[in-house]
Each structure stands twice: as structure tokens, then as C-alpha cells.
Structure 1
């Protein structure tokens, strides 16, 4: 927060600022982030919630409380259909979508095509900008010129539980059926 305060004169040049998160844990992230989202906005900066593993199951947050959805989380979750659906919903509600850890053309293409992201970042440019900037610029040019890259994106969607990533065991497909409630007579209902 102090870093943002020191740069207040440049608030109009910021895309977003992320609220604190907990890597790989959406529930802990929402708990940690919520006290900061409003404070970030009060400083004149769009507030970003960092989406972590299983955010699709967390009901403790609202689209109205953020300006940007930043896709973080484990590689397996980040490349899951659930994360892609969250980004599409965010985009449909007018939220900025940002994807982190994009350091290859395949990941860049995934962020653009499957996630409909507005922006992406990675450490590639931090570790040799002179060497890697031409590659990143080529990715952008290739994606904009090669319409076939936009077709057949099925090869980009992964099953996060296929064993390539260290992700917790697959959640159950459906909740176990509830036991039927006992039948009550009208007299018994009147007492409830």
C-alpha cells in the first residue's frame, strides 16, 4: 500500500494493482484480499483479485468488488477449463483479464485465444529483455496475422488432473446424493 501511495501521481497510468494473495488457495486469497480491494480503489487504482486454485468453488466474493481478474494459481488450475470460464465471465462483465506466468508462444496463444485476456506477463523479459523482446514481439505479430492460430484451440485446453501437474486430487464430479427426508404427517409439520 505504501508503494502505491508513493506513486499516487501516476495513478492514471496503472492498469491495476493486485490485492495480496495466497498461492494455490482461492479461499485464503479471498480472505486476505478483501480488506485491500476497496483501499486500492480509494487510491485511484483499479483493483485486481488474483484467481487461485478452485476460485470457481468459492462464493465469498463478488464481481462488483474488483476491476481486474488476474489469473494466478498452479499451472494445472491455470490451464483448466474452470479458469478459462472465469476469464470469459470476467470479460463479459467488462473486467480486465490478466494472465500471469506467460513465457512461451503456446502460453501467450492460450491467454489470448482461450482466456480472451487483455494482458499477460512473465519473467522472460526480466531475464534478458534485449534477448527475449524480439521473441515476444514476434508472438504478438504471429498471433495477429495467423488466423489459423485462432481456430482449433482445442489443442490448448488441458485436463489439469492428467498427471502432468502437481494438483490436489480431482474433486468429486457431483455431491453424493442426500438421504431422503422422512415423511411427515400434517400434524407433525404444524409443530415445526
Structure 2
């Protein structure tokens, strides 16, 4: 992967980079898996009579049981202190907010991921993104990193390395590569906002 290069064109800024064929295939597989995970969560939503009458989409009121999906779709409200009435107030608020907003969040994540797939060079090589495409890439790569980081149990303190014989050592390398890809892209986007 090359660093992202911002180029000003008559149609607006463009972000250019290049991926090797194996890097493009890796990104495609990871992002496709993310889309499948989001689809599974969405299909798990209960049927709602109000949705059938009004067309207003509602989502799951319960948080995901899977740690990875819980990281991608966290609770909306976390009390700073223990509520005198107990945790039921926070649970009730989160259930209502999740039911109302989770469908739109899943849809936004899926759209960003699909846009990444649509602009990803199928066999690698040089490619160019519009600013909107670049924002979708940053969002989708972040979601993949969050999912992978949760699976690897990466916290604020690392790990930076795993022993070569560790079954997840290769996954950590992928996580770190995605971090660099995203960081360079975000720096390019930030640079354009300061011009």
C-alpha cells in the first residue's frame, strides 16, 4: 500500500493510492464479512406491527450478544454514575434508542462498506477516490478494525506483537496494516479540510 496522495482536480479533490492484489483481496474479504455481520444483525430484528403499518423501520431493542457486534453497535447511553433507581433506567433508555436508531446506523455502515467495495480495484493497482468515497473508506475500514480489534482483544495497551506461533499473530498484522491505511487516509482528509 502506498500513502494516500491528495490531488486537486476541476471536479474537486481526489485521493490516490495503490494496493497490491493480495491487499485488495484482503480488504474485499474483510469488508464483505462486515456486510454479512450487519445483515445478520438486521435480520435478527423482531417484526414490529407499527413498522408494518407506518413503514417506519425499527430495530432490535436488545444489544447484540456477540462482543464484536456489540463493539460496532454499542449502547447509546452510559451513565457517569450509578442511577439511584438502578440500572433498569439505562437499560430501558438504551432499548428505546437502539430500536429507533439501529436500523439507520446499520444502513449507514452497510452503505459505506458497499461504496468501499464498489471503488476497490478488483485486482489491486492504482485507484482514485472522490472525497465522499474517501470518507466511506475511512468509515468502513474503521468498522473492520473495530471488529478485528475486538476479536483480538486489543485494548489501549496493545498488544503490539504476538509470538509467531500464536494462532492470531497474522490477524494482528492485518489489524496494524488497516490502522496505517486508515491513518494515512484520515491525514489526507484532514489536510484537505485545512486548506
Q: Classify the TM-score, shorter chain.
A: under 0.3
More helix by share: 2
The TM-score normalised by the length of structure 1 is 0.22
Structure with greater Cα Rg: 1
Answer 1 or 2: higher relative contact order, Cα 8 Å, separation at least 6. 2
Relative to the length of structure 2, the TM-score reads 0.22
